[in-house]
Structure 1
Amino acid sequence: KFQAFGKSLEEAFANAAIAMFDFITKTESIEPKIEEKIEIQSEDNKSLLYDFLEQFLFLIDTKQFLLHEIKEIKIKRIDSNKMKLTATAAGDTVDHKYKIGGDIKAVTYNDMFIKKQDDHYIVQVLMDI
């Protein structure tokens, strides 16, 4: 389980992705050699966070992608029951030069929350490892 913070919802989501990857490897050691575009739609912020993080697990499994940073991220409401997230992630593929630690099986809704507190956002995520 981890918490991530941000001055905006977008920054909190980006920090959640980095926190998740920090469980796998040190994100600051990953070279930003390739970019992955992410575009997802969900019915609310919680589903959007879940789908956003699950997309990274999909990228690890299918492309061996390791995150260095979220270069840009935008979240907007499309209509009354649809949110859209677009992001550009920079990173590299799994290579012998990167030390891989933990393995994440899935993101869960268990204990997940997103809340605005004063001038910042807090997100909490529980992972199945």
Structure 2
Amino acid sequence: MPHQTFPHEADIGVRGTGATLDEAFAGAALALTAVICDPATVVPREALTIDCAAPDVELLLVDWLNALIYRMATRHLLFARFEVKIAGTRLHATAWGEPIDVARHQPAAEAKGVSFCELKVCRQADGQWLAQAVVDV
């Protein structure tokens, strides 16, 4: 799943791309994990279902990433695999992951929330979808 992080002052940007909006949102979620640890170290053992709705797709991205951050914080989980289905401005997703193992995952940061800074969800000139936001760490 194409994803990347990018520097942003004291915070970190997350970016996902894909042939579909679903893939771009899944990529942004994987980039969120990459802010915390190497996603390759996370075993997708447990599945959680997440549903979000928002007035537009940009706010939907914020809600989606914040829902993941909330579940990571309250359930002490990290996620490595995502299946996202978006219909209009509603999202239904499954995230697979496992409990945090500090020795194995070696978390480098704690994601606190998603800001509206550099928030962008759009189809690019090459036809690929882009979903990006900045995460407060």
Cα deviation, 1:36-94, whole Å, max 9, x if unaligned, reads 10111111101110000000110111101101110x211002xxxxx210011110011
The answer for the alignment partner of 1:92 in structure 2 is 98
Query: How do 1:9-88 residues align onto structure 2 when only pairs under 5 Å count?
Result: 9-70=21-82, 72-77=83-88, 83-88=89-94
Q: CA RMSD in A?
A: 1.1
TM-score with structure 2 length normalisation?
0.85
Aligned equivalents of 2:27, 2:71: Cα separation in 1: 17
Letter in 1 for 2:118: D
Q: Does 1:120 align with 2:131?
A: no
Q: Percent identity?
A: 28
Cα deviation, 1:7-54, whole Å, max 9, x if unaligned, reads 100000000000011010111111111001011111110111000000
Could you tell me which runs of 5 or more consecutive residues in structure 1 were left unpaired when the two chains were aligned. 78-82
Structure 1 runs of 4+ aligned residues shifted over 3 Å read none
Count of residue correspondences: 123
Aligned equivalents of 2:110, 2:74: Cα separation in 1: 15
TM-score with structure 1 length normalisation?
0.90
